[in-house]
Structure 1
């Protein structure tokens, strides 16, 4: 419901009460190096529940001199802390990290991927709802007799029975609010569970006072019903938020707990996935999921790779094929060699991206956080003011107390606390289902603002899977030399050239890669170069032989030896995506390092009027900076090492999953599908998320504008206040879930499924790896 729950979730997890702090040795063993002298450790803080909780924990950690940065993820209750191993030459104590969290009133322990905690809390909430509902029902039955005119003795008896029924219900079911409020107050702060705890306590106390003094009216039925409705709201909120972040939970469950590792003598031993090391041989049976990234060394099978590319069609693998963690072997048994540990595998990477989607300090999140910080003191001030005002106005201090209780409950800013994070969680989950990873919520905000889109060409508008075509005669010796040089590069043209050569290529030592240009090797014969014409033969030769093919030139000491021509294919549905973007009013352009003749051909085929060719990585980044200087909000879509500066310089950026590691890291979005429809879909999803956030703000503010005066004027009982507060939170979450209805445009599903063959560039090898 709100940050209210600085305890509502984790502090309510009774099993964790009194959990000991992790030791320095445990923290060091669980940390991983992220830079010179920098380590990152992930801690679980189950009690965080909204923006104020996040701010409290992050501020406490950032106050420590050894903390470089700290970031709390609301969905997984994880706080990632980057800490220095020494400050001013003095070794730091990592135990200070959980100790700082504990000082704010939150329990913490080392993060694990176990998912049962959420289900445990849900079950506790359901049991509490049942207990409070049972108590409310029975107390109401007793109240019927009182309302029907029972004599004083019978009325007092029923009031005492009601008090005895309500007391254990209040203790058992109300612990969710009491523990959270107590944890906040004992650490010198407040949260929104404090007014709720005060409200239900005062309601019971007022009823008990009436009972002791033989009063005609007691409110045990209202107290129990109030607790019942509060818990219903919190339970529904918890269930709906679990649904909102189900994409992350589902991903975590795709990782097997362990696998059969083949020993040196062929023995097979079960090993936990955390203990699998690079180089281990793993036996995968049909129906098993791949535990870590690896390479098939024996066996053949069809894999369900929908987690990778969003497509339902299985993919065949054989010895030599790369496989990713989380994919499912459908038809055969495999033996794979692990190429990554579980923390560095594909599945861990996309879980990290999903978690990061709501962790960014986005503009809307900052607004909600600041509002929540000042809301709690305002609530208490309003409640005290209403109590004193009504007491002095009509002299009925009991009525004044009921008004104050209603104000305490109805003004809880649960809806405001949920307005932003729940939309970001839902949006990240919907994008993931469409095969798009997003790094943080601020990226979605920036994507919703774009008015201009620039594409790289090779590997972006095209699939970057060129094929060597017939061209001028190439000698066998030149082919062998070129293939030997190409073996040292992972640029698509180099890989295509190397794959096309079926004999033993010439070997080279000391091959050097020049990003955006090619490869070169100094030998006793001279300096061999393989790359674009300007790199291989000099600027003067760059456009001597214009042609619509991508080309790679082999030269020795600047003299051309051979030229290799390639053709590429457009990404599936590229034409449809471009048409959709143009129809939506976006300005489109191409920023490419390829030759003008090839870029022009691609631009004509796609209907893009603005394009620039022959750009270096620096020039691409400068192009993005120029667009920003002109007031444009530019989305850069690119891959490869030489696109990384432009991706970082753009207002927001996107890269295909086939991009170089550097490109994927620099991009704000990564799309897994081959089709280019991911670009318009991500923009539409981000725009709708922005609209939903604004709608949620309007709902939350509108609720308070209406509810607060009603409570202050005495027209809302505590019971009505509880129903109103819970309903406002549920409406905000339900509004966010509307984003799940957004569907990919299927109208283009039949177009260019295998791509449209074009003749296209990349004569300038941008080493895409």
Structure 2
């Protein structure tokens, strides 16, 4: 709004062009000043007109613009210049700069709003005596003019400062031959200020300084709320890449180990990975055995054995043994980076969603300008003079000011978000509720969504307290997820200090000269059919003790799925876990359609397939492997225990153990949609009634400002009805 668009890029964009594996080129830019769907369409269409450009996508929430092409002779500076020519700023995208711009804009909007609100109260204190004197006739012309000048001394400088977001936006668009909603707003403010000063200097009875700051205050409230909701939609790709290790231990030619930034790791280098380390880049194991936690990548809840020639992916966690890995890809080309790009693409595809408020606002500029101009001409023709004609035209501009329209969506969003927040649901994306109200299909991940996401012992009755306590002492020395589950069940207690983790097998120790082991069945000398997730414990020659685990459904999963079905929604399960586990959980929850062992790319492809079928899909997932699908869904929800990247890719996050939060969110979103539509109908009815009254001269600018303010209050009160159960 008030961030000036530079006349040229701050850096040569050629240095920021990225070349892909198939000869394609791409450039990421941070676009400043784009606020609505009209801006988005203008920029995307404008850049697409450049010969050779094949892709032009803008993400309104983050300001990130991506252009793609294959022609190696295309000058990327043309892209930057085209965006500047359209009236916007453009610099190479850097996440820290993007965040800084967003934070700065929010602070300035808050300052503008505070100035407008404070000055409105002071000006009203000055004009109220004048209004009362006009009724009771107790104030002379000199005193009245003195009060007018005092009001002008407050309203003019305060209005000029608080109006910067509108004036700067209108001027930038007018310079480029375009018009937006800020043009008639600015015109109304400037005309009202100029005519009020003229009336004061000529000792007229009426001035309308209060209308200036009143207009700005209510408009800035809506603009600030909208900005804050957009700001909550963080860049999920950043959170994905945050899961990547910061450094890597690279083995040099002389055998020494050097810690380097992950971005500096080269293909073919040998990397040492210790137990507890996160895999820095994609690679293949050349030495060592271990077990890995791949749950964030694959959704598989059970630890995976790692050995020579095992392929590891960035973001996975090494659990038990030391490994040497040969890097097969650099950080920017890793599996994690590919997922990050999928998420970013999904976010951008969502940004083309056209909100009802934007559609209605497209008609505002030509209609209001036309109505004000016809009012002015009509009163001149009627012979009432310039002063009457211009005041009535100002009244039309003010009374049609889109405060109610501007608050119609943000007010409902804030109230609905507040109600959901009290129920443990955080709404992160400004238009998430609008999209959620329209869904007709839900895709659930299994682990951590339908289920609790923690292995639970299911054969406790077969295990004596003595064996549980002994196994727990050994389990506390292990990092294996199943061992941690045993330790958690047994509660706090001692561990065996000299226990040794045997990568790929389990943990063992000597207790009073007796060998104790816990791990794989064959390692401890037990027989298993591998039908369930399990771990075995054995002390010396005693009989092995079996610990069987499963991931149980949330307490309210069955009831929630039943309620969602009553809403007529299609439901399926899409999981990276094993077929048996997925089938058991899906059938227990009452869901007939399910897919198991789905990779992140499989999940994203399934969402693309559903989108192609015309489905309006809600995705509920928690793992890193769900992030691309979350981004591609029309709307997405993640539990509070989800991976940070999945929470960032999602539009909403629910805390606690209740899956019913998903049902509650859908119901609130549908009620919110009804309130938004009611607000739009009211705004239309308000303009239908008040515009003719203003055109025929029955209202003055202050009355017009008061009517406009009341329309905003009514819209806000209607939004507050969402708090009612």
Calculate the TM-score normalised by the size of structure 2: 0.60
Q: Equivalent residue for 1:629?
A: none
Q: Equivalent residue for 2:292?
A: none
Shift of residue 99 of structure 1? 1.8
Shift of residue 700 of structure 1? 2.7
Q: Equivalent residue for 2:689?
A: 709
Q: Equivalent residue for 1:381?
A: 370
Maintained 8 Å contact 1:324/1:347: no
Q: CA RMSD in A?
A: 6.3
Shift of residue 699 of structure 1? 0.3
Residues 292 and 119 from structure 1, CA distance in 2 versus in 1: closer, same or farther, beyond 3 angstroms? farther
Q: Equivalent residue for 2:50?
A: 64
Tell me the distance in 1 between the aligned counterparts of 2:704 and 2:279. Answer: 50
Tell me the distance in 1 between the aligned counterparts of 2:330 and 2:553. Answer: 29
Is the partner of 2:363 in helix, strand or coil? helix
Residues 74 and 591 from structure 1, CA distance in 2 versus in 1: closer, same or farther, beyond 3 angstroms? closer
1:9-20 matched pairs, under 5 angstroms: 9=1, 12-13=2-3, 16-18=4-6, 20=8
Shift of residue 97 of structure 1? 1.8
Tell me the distance in 1 between the aligned counterparts of 2:616 and 2:662. Answer: 12
- The superposition leaves residues 104-131 of structure 1 with CA deviations (integer Å, 9 ceiling, x where unpaired) of 2222222333333344334434544565
Q: Equivalent residue for 2:204?
A: 216
2:67 is aligned, of 76, 79, 82, to 82
Report how many aligned residue pairs link the two structures.
Answer: 577
Maintained 8 Å contact 1:61/1:101: yes
Q: Equivalent residue for 1:105?
A: 87
1:99-248 matched pairs, under 5 angstroms: 99-114=81-96, 115-129=99-113, 144=129, 147=133, 163=152, 166-212=155-201, 214-219=202-207, 222-223=208-209, 225-245=210-230, 247-248=232-233
Residues 457 and 346 from structure 1, CA distance in 2 versus in 1: closer, same or farther, beyond 3 angstroms? same
Tell me the distance in 1 between the aligned counterparts of 2:41 and 2:604. Answer: 32
The answer to whether residue 439 in structure 2 is matched with residue 448 in structure 1 is yes
1:541-556 matched pairs, under 5 angstroms: none
Tell me the distance in 2 between the aligned counterparts of 1:658 and 1:206. Answer: 60
- The superposition leaves residues 359-381 of structure 1 with CA deviations (integer Å, 9 ceiling, x where unpaired) of 1335xx3x554433232101111
Tell me the distance in 2 between the aligned counterparts of 1:704 and 1:419. Answer: 11
Tell me the distance in 2 between the aligned counterparts of 1:739 and 1:33. Answer: 50
The answer to whether residue 77 in structure 2 is matched with residue 95 in structure 1 is yes
Residues 412 and 349 from structure 1, CA distance in 2 versus in 1: closer, same or farther, beyond 3 angstroms? farther
Is the partner of 2:35 in helix, strand or coil? coil
Tell me the distance in 2 between the aligned counterparts of 1:464 and 1:410. Answer: 55
Maintained 8 Å contact 2:32/2:90: yes
Shift of residue 395 of structure 1? 1.9
2:608 is aligned, of 632, 640, 648, to 648
Shift of residue 54 of structure 1? 2.4
- The superposition leaves residues 727-765 of structure 1 with CA deviations (integer Å, 9 ceiling, x where unpaired) of 7668768978998999xxxxxxxxxxxxxxxxxxxxxxx
Shift of residue 437 of structure 1? 9.8
Residues 443 and 644 from structure 1, CA distance in 2 versus in 1: closer, same or farther, beyond 3 angstroms? farther
- The superposition leaves residues 572-614 of structure 1 with CA deviations (integer Å, 9 ceiling, x where unpaired) of 4554443443455556678999999999977764455x579xx
In structure 1, the gaps of 5 or more residues are 1-8, 298-306, 310-314, 328-335, 470-498, 504-546, 552-565, 613-619, 621-635, 743-769
Residues 138 and 244 from structure 1, CA distance in 2 versus in 1: closer, same or farther, beyond 3 angstroms? closer
1:754-769 matched pairs, under 5 angstroms: none
1:731-750 matched pairs, under 5 angstroms: none
Tell me the distance in 1 between the aligned counterparts of 2:424 and 2:348. Answer: 16
Shift of residue 44 of structure 1? 2.5
Tell me the distance in 2 between the aligned counterparts of 1:593 and 1:248. Answer: 26
Is the partner of 1:361 in helix, strand or coil? coil
Tell me the distance in 2 between the aligned counterparts of 1:292 and 1:730. Answer: 54
Further displaced range: 679-688 or 110-119: 679-688
Tell me the distance in 1 between the aligned counterparts of 2:575 and 2:123. Answer: 75
Is the partner of 2:233 in helix, strand or coil? helix
- The superposition leaves residues 489-526 of structure 1 with CA deviations (integer Å, 9 ceiling, x where unpaired) of xxxxxxxxxx99749xxxxxxxxxxxxxxxxxxxxxxx
Tell me the distance in 2 between the aligned counterparts of 1:395 and 1:170. Answer: 30
In structure 2, the gaps of 5 or more residues are 286-295, 304-309, 318-324, 459-501, 507-528, 534-547, 643-653
Is the partner of 1:108 in helix, strand or coil? strand
1:36-55 matched pairs, under 5 angstroms: 36-55=22-41
The answer to whether residue 675 in structure 2 is matched with residue 695 in structure 1 is yes
Residues 129 and 604 from structure 1, CA distance in 2 versus in 1: closer, same or farther, beyond 3 angstroms? closer
Tell me the distance in 1 between the aligned counterparts of 2:273 and 2:597. Answer: 39
Shift of residue 208 of structure 1? 3.1
Maintained 8 Å contact 1:233/1:726: yes
Maintained 8 Å contact 1:55/1:369: no
1:73 is aligned, of 24, 45, 59, to 59
Tell me the distance in 2 between the aligned counterparts of 1:237 and 1:407. Answer: 21
Shift of residue 96 of structure 1? 1.8
Residues 231 and 661 from structure 1, CA distance in 2 versus in 1: closer, same or farther, beyond 3 angstroms? closer
- The superposition leaves residues 279-310 of structure 1 with CA deviations (integer Å, 9 ceiling, x where unpaired) of 899999x9xx9998899x9xxxxxxxxx999x
Tell me the distance in 2 between the aligned counterparts of 1:464 and 1:196. Answer: 53
Maintained 8 Å contact 2:149/2:200: yes
Tell me the distance in 2 between the aligned counterparts of 1:308 and 1:436. Answer: 25
Residues 43 and 184 from structure 1, CA distance in 2 versus in 1: closer, same or farther, beyond 3 angstroms? same
Is the partner of 1:45 in helix, strand or coil? strand
Residues 256 and 120 from structure 1, CA distance in 2 versus in 1: closer, same or farther, beyond 3 angstroms? farther
Tell me the distance in 2 between the aligned counterparts of 1:149 and 1:243. Answer: 47
- The superposition leaves residues 10-63 of structure 1 with CA deviations (integer Å, 9 ceiling, x where unpaired) of xx12xx45453245xx42433445673433333223322223232332332233
Is the partner of 2:401 in helix, strand or coil? coil
Tell me the distance in 2 between the aligned counterparts of 1:569 and 1:729. Answer: 50
Residues 122 and 583 from structure 1, CA distance in 2 versus in 1: closer, same or farther, beyond 3 angstroms? closer
Maintained 8 Å contact 2:560/2:660: yes
Q: Equivalent residue for 2:351?
A: 359
Tell me the distance in 2 between the aligned counterparts of 1:445 and 1:722. Answer: 35
Tell me the distance in 1 between the aligned counterparts of 2:150 and 2:49. Answer: 52
Q: Equivalent residue for 1:625?
A: none
Further displaced range: 410-419 or 252-261: 252-261
